Structure 1
Amino acid sequence: MIATAADLFARNGYHGTGIAELGRAVGLGRGALYHYIESKEAVLYAISKDQVDKMNALAESILDKGLEPEELLREMARGLLRNISTHRSEWTVFFREYGALTGQRRDHVIAARERYESYWRQALDQGVRSGVLRPTPRILVKGILGMLNYTYLWFEPDGVLTPEELADVFLDALINGLSSRGVPQN
């Protein structure tokens, strides 16, 4: 039911999808549907919470591996792009619709998103402490995640690059920069 709702919300928008439409899509009448769900907002919350919780768990496990700073960042980026490419509808709903959540549901999703950002900050800080990376403004985490997250709009997992290869392209540009200084000319 959650996957079907994610597909509908991604295609039609959260506000553009009625509970009757969701019921038809999963083969349940309105009464039967409410036996399984509390509300349409509860479904939106489940979609949003599930993905960000998965990414937090993955980031925690990657941080616990004791990887070198560059590999740590690469693994985090690869994991995020793998998840986005596998759960594109869910991420579309998360990025476009989580603002429709209210009260504690909204607070929980925002806190979970901020926790995920903190894991990226920890990874960058490890690189600075080890001398591999230079200190960066705290806002850079939002820029990095924006670059990676925006792929939900255009990345095709069956295209030229795998999610892992795309993550490496982005991380190469981030870590090595785009400067041609010191790069031999052809």
Structure 2
Amino acid sequence: MPRKRAAGYDNQRETIIEQAAALFARNGFAGTSMNEVALACGLSKASLYHYYTDKHQLLMTICEGHIDRLCALVDEVAQQDLPPEPRLRLLIQRFVEEYRDAQNEHRVLTEDVRFLAPEDQESILAGERKVVRAVADAMCAVRPELDRSRMAKPLAMLLFGMINWMFMWLKPDGELTHERMAVVVSDLLFGGIGAVGLDGVPRKKR
């Protein structure tokens, strides 16, 4: 008969993942030990191994969880069946919000996925491809000729280039908020620098 999990088991797993993501983001995967993760969680090393067998399993769980949330975000927006421009603007807004709330996980994904085994890297990359494809499709819905020119994916990658590293310079308690910057990113995408609303509201088309 399977042994029942102790009360709080799932909560403890989440705490471990949060602490490990913070340590990996700050010190790098290679620069973090399981001892440090255990100490940050208030656990013994033996107790930590009860939840995760090694550091690579921790890394895979962090990356997989982040990608799964991004894929779920894409699916949720698709289910709203919005017109092309609002759909793309909502995707941008949701991505920026997700990165705001998962800065450690996002940094680990972008910097440490190379430490995973090849088959695990491929699993993560498959999720990333789904996310990029969803944005490229949304761009093609706005401008159908992008598909024929094969420019949809490069433009999608440029878009992610704008938002992927926002955590490096956007201060959580600064004057600019993630919500404001999501609007700015959308404005830049749709109209270039001349389209950016300086009061945080998209400029009206002339």
Q: TM-score, normalised by structure 1?
A: 0.88
Selected match of 1:145 from 160, 165, 173 = 160
Q: 2:7 matched to which residue of 1? A: none
1:93 aligns with 2:88: no
Work out the CA distance in 2 between the residues paired with 1:114 and 1:177.
26
In the TM superposition, 1:24-43 aligns within 5 A as: 24-43=39-58
Matches of 2:157 and 2:91 in 1, distance apart? 14
Corresponding residue of 2:5: none
C-alpha contact (below 8 Å) 1:85/1:156 kept by paired residues? no
Q: Note if contact 1:19-1:30 (Cα within 8 Å) is conserved in structure 2.
A: yes
The one of 90, 104, 113 equivalent to 2:119 is 104
Residue 126 of structure 1, CA deviation:
1.2
Root-mean-square deviation (CA, aligned residues, Å) is 2.2
Match of 2:99 in 1: 84
Runs of 5+ consecutive residues of structure 2 not aligned to the other structure: 1-15, 196-206
The structure 1 residue matched to 2:171, chosen from 135, 150, 156, is: 156
Output aligned runs, 1:103-182, within 5 Å: 103-129=118-144, 137=151, 138-178=153-193
Q: Unpaired runs of 5+ in structure 1? A: 181-186
Q: 1:2 aligns with which of 3, 11, 17?
A: 17
Q: Corresponding residue for 1:23? A: 38
- Give the letter aligned to residue 30 of structure 1: K
The CA deviation at 1:25 is: 1.2
Letter of the 2:19 counterpart: T
Q: Is the 8 A contact 2:70 2:95 kept in 1?
A: yes
Please point out which of 63, 68, 72 is paired with 1:57. 72
Q: Does the aligned pair in 2 maintain the 1:56–1:112 contact within 8 Å?
A: yes
Q: Deviations over 1:15-54 (max 9, x none)?
A: 0001111111112222221110021011111111111110
Q: 1:135 to 1:73 in 2, by over 3 A?
A: farther
* 1:184 aligned partner: none
Structure with bigger RCO (C-alpha 8 Å, 6+ apart): 1
Partners of 2:170 and 2:176 within 8 A in 1? no
Which amino acid letter does the alignment assign opposite residue 139 of structure 1? P
Distance (Å, rounded) in 2 between the aligned partners of 1:136 and 1:164: 30
Identity value in percent = 29
Conserved 8 A contact 1:63-1:123: no
Number of residue pairs the alignment of both structures matches = 179
- 136 and 123 in structure 1: CA distance in 2 versus 1, 3 angstrom threshold: same
Quote the residue 1:68 is aligned against.
83
Detail structure 1 runs of 4+ shifted over 4 Å in the superposition.
none
- Please tell me whether the aligned partners of residues 84 and 141 of structure 2 are also in contact (alpha carbons under 8 angstroms): yes
